[in-house]
Structure 1
Amino acid sequence: MKKVFKLSLVMLLAFTVVLAGCGNNNAKNAANGETNAGTNGGTNAAKSDFKFGMVTDIGGVNDKSFNQSAWEALQALEKETGSSVKYLQSKSNADYEPNLNQFVKDGYNLTWGIGFDLGDAIKKVAGENANANLAIIDSVVDAPNVASVTFSENEGSFLVGVVAGLTTKTNKVAFIGGMESPVIKRFEVGFKAGVTAVNPDAKVTITYAGAYDKPDTGKSLAATLYNDGNDIIFPAAGATGNGVFNEAKSRNKAGGAKVWVIGVDKDQSIEFGTDVTLTSMIKRVDEAVKKVSKEVIDGTFKGGTTTVLGLKDNGVGISDTSKVNVSEEILAKVEDYKKQIIDGTIKVPTE
């Protein structure tokens, strides 16, 4: 009897060690961002177990524009759910693929690519890592493990074009793009269509900076355009557009004819002030990033899908602070055009 008891005690101790080992492995997996549900998430995983990575384009995380909006969304998600979030900044196109691969290798539950320029890199990394979840803003990547989110920038740009066309004192306004692409083209043609719809006599000058990370170039282009009599400039150029604001602020401080800038992607009056920001074309990158990321946590993430957000989805629009500098009469016109775009009466061009 004593022998049997000793044997049972030994077996019990062995079983306890095995259980402890399993517990340690589970804790270790959680610390590495791994869950019982794998990279796809699910109900077996605590929200705090999830890890979300974001790779910026060359504009950088502090571009005061859409990279920053995306990062702020992930920071809000971290605060709300306890998930871990991290970004890697790309200094050149060559950084895209290794940055994406770093998150995939480290077992992140979702890796974001911010900007159309990351499309090829996302496609390659997704193809080489079938079990990884990826998502991209401003481009469509045809892969079963990638969620693509694009926006109807032309519709929001039409509305700020209406504001510009009805506000200009010189009948000369301008657009500065970062680099030529389908996305920036939608900003350009939408803006021009809005100006022309309400002020056919206004001249719209179009120019491209060729970069998203050159504030000095933006400042120089803005100086030339303002010198030529343009009193409103709409830059869709990432951090390059920050230079446009700097030039406008300097001119307004020095006196002379008042000049304006139209913000892009987020309410840029928060950063640069309402003294120089006429209005802003809001692109709700933050809401899109937060929504798709939450789908990973909820276990409802769907790769191989494309979401297009326009005026009817509240995916684009104009900033609430527009009322500081834009008259009620003009804002009423904007609202009327918005309704016509949503109901299909007006078709805003895309190219």
Structure 2
Amino acid sequence: METMSKKQISLSKIILFFLSATCCFSFFSGCHNDKTPSITAKLVTDGLGVNDKSYNASAWEGVLRFYGDSVGEEEHFGTLYDVAICNESGKYFSDLRAISEEKPDLVIITGFVLTDAIRSVSLVYPEQKFLMIDGSNLSNENVQNYLFASEEGSYLVGMLAAEQSIKEGVQNPAFGFIGGMENDAIIDFEIGYVQGIRAVLPDAEVFSFYTDDWSRPALAAAKAKVWYEKGVYAIYTAAGMCGNGTIAEAVSHRKAGKNVWAIGVDQDQFGEGIYGVGKSAVLTSMIKRVDNAVEIGLNSVRTGAFKGGSRILSLKDKAVGFSTTNTELDPEVIKHVQAVQAEIISGKRNVISTYKDRAAAESILQTVKK
């Protein structure tokens, strides 16, 4: 287990583009405080830490906002809140036990890889409150678990990419998906994306690849290079820091005059794909408001409303969505995808996921080329 220093975090200067562009959500109202909260928190991540410019960075933003701090100005770091990195799977249990012994008011865990460990540790420390992001099958009373309807946001970016390809006159466009670890949480990104593409282009060819890693961008870059050179139009990556490899390849190809795109995840990653004035290789990003989930969990402890159990946050909660930062996005495409978003929220349009219909989800996966 590695504890990050304030200097390490401050020097990272994580660029969080447009993270608060849509923060006035009814579900998340009341998240901000007039004065600094007095409760203590420990954010626990996997080996990526808070510098992944994606999932963990968003969780970190939620912690900072709760305490009235910001990236690079972590005034209450080390006193009210702290960060620990669990980067050895064989030590997850012992690391989380050590953290629980410190008795922070809330231990915040990001990432499903720590699910089994937190399930066990939470039984050993029944008085310790835990907030889990993207855990699975957690029913312990002292664990508050937030999941996201990632398939809904992924459906929207898939549809947007497909419609944009039509607007750009691309003939028979193919699409790619790169995931991290192959499990239900990431598979829902994939099948949502595939459904969105095929709602526009029923016969579109979609490729899939899993890195089995979260922190090796070179793995995604190598696959993205092969796909782009084969004519794949857009690649959506849900693989932590590996996504930076996809974006780097998209930048390289666009600089060379190739009409290809990367699709970001968790945060608006437009900034990661910049290659010229106002130009980015990131067409859109599937926004996942991990920051707001962390903040609402912290508030539940502050107000005494903490309650264990799982909840899925969806488009209806404005917890997922898509970014429209890239000015090359066709306005008509944006308008139509926003209309479809409203249909999903109202229930008029259904998006299949592993937890809703596993058989249907598996049938979608069978149509994707590995």
Deviation at 1:318, TM superposition (A): 0.6
Q: Quick one: distance in 2 between partners of 1:349 and 1:270?
A: 31
Residue 308 (1) aligns with residue 312 (2): yes
Deviation at 1:102, TM superposition (A): 2.6
Aligned 8 A contact 2:271 2:280 in 1: no
The total of aligned residue pairs comes to 303
1:262-303 residue CA offsets vs partner (Å, 9 max, x unmatched): 000010113333511100000000000001111111111112
Q: 2:282 aligns with which of 272, 277, 285?
A: 277
Partner residue, 2:343 = 340
1:156-176 residue CA offsets vs partner (Å, 9 max, x unmatched): 000000111112324111110
Q: 1:126 aligns with which of 94, 119, 122?
A: 122
Which is greater in Rg? 1
> Which secondary structure state, in structure 1, belongs to the residue aligned with residue 68 of structure 2?
helix
Q: Quick one: distance in 1 between partners of 2:306 and 2:206?
A: 42
> Which secondary structure state, in structure 2, belongs to the residue aligned with residue 149 of structure 1?
strand
Partner residue, 1:201 = 203
Partner residue, 1:299 = 304
More deviation, 141-150/242-251:
242-251
Aligned 8 A contact 1:231 1:258 in 2: yes
Q: Quick one: distance in 1 between partners of 2:337 and 2:95?
A: 41
Deviation at 1:329, TM superposition (A): 0.7
Q: Quick one: distance in 1 between partners of 2:324 and 2:162?
A: 19
Distance 1:50 1:228, change over 3 A: same
1:182-211 residue CA offsets vs partner (Å, 9 max, x unmatched): 011100000000000011232111111111
Partner residue, 2:291 = 286
Normalised by the length of structure 2, the TM-score is: 0.78
Partner residue, 1:19 = none
Letter in 2 for 1:276: A
Q: CA RMSD in A?
A: 1.7
Normalised by the length of structure 1, the TM-score is: 0.82
1:212-265 residue CA offsets vs partner (Å, 9 max, x unmatched): 111111111111111111021000010111111111112222x23221100000
Unmatched 5+ stretches in structure 1: 1-45
Residue 263 (1) aligns with residue 261 (2): no
Q: Quick one: distance in 2 between partners of 1:70 and 1:177?
A: 20
Residue 144 (1) aligns with residue 145 (2): no
More deviation, 282-291/269-278:
269-278
Aligned 8 A contact 1:88 1:99 in 2: no
Letter in 1 for 2:280: D
Partner residue, 1:51 = 40
Aligned 8 A contact 1:123 1:143 in 2: yes
**After the TM superposition, which parts of structure 1 deviate over 3 Å for at least 4 consecutive aligned residues?**
46-49, 80-83
Deviation at 1:48, TM superposition (A): 4.8
Deviation at 1:144, TM superposition (A): 0.8
Q: Quick one: distance in 1 between partners of 2:145 and 2:193?
A: 24
Deviation at 1:96, TM superposition (A): 2.5
Aligned 8 A contact 1:312 1:342 in 2: yes
Q: Quick one: distance in 1 between partners of 2:39 and 2:273?
A: 35
Q: Report percent identity of matched pairs.
A: 36
User: Residues 59-70 of structure 1: matches in 2 within 5 Å?
Assistant: 59-70=48-59
1:63-99 residue CA offsets vs partner (Å, 9 max, x unmatched): 1111110011112222269671111112232242233
Partner residue, 2:237 = 235
Unmatched 5+ stretches in structure 2: 1-34, 70-74, 354-360, 362-370
User: Residues 1-351 of structure 1: matches in 2 within 5 Å?
Assistant: 48-79=37-68, 84-140=80-136, 141-168=138-165, 169-170=170-171, 171-253=173-255, 255-273=256-274, 274-303=279-308, 305-322=309-326, 324-350=327-353, 351=361
> Which secondary structure state, in structure 2, belongs to the residue aligned with residue 239 of structure 1?
helix
Q: Quick one: distance in 2 between partners of 1:59 and 1:237?
A: 11
Q: Quick one: distance in 1 between partners of 2:253 and 2:61?
A: 31
1:86-139 residue CA offsets vs partner (Å, 9 max, x unmatched): 111122322422332232111100001101111101101100001100011111
Q: Quick one: distance in 2 between partners of 1:47 and 1:174?
A: 44
Letter in 2 for 1:313: D
Letter in 2 for 1:263: G
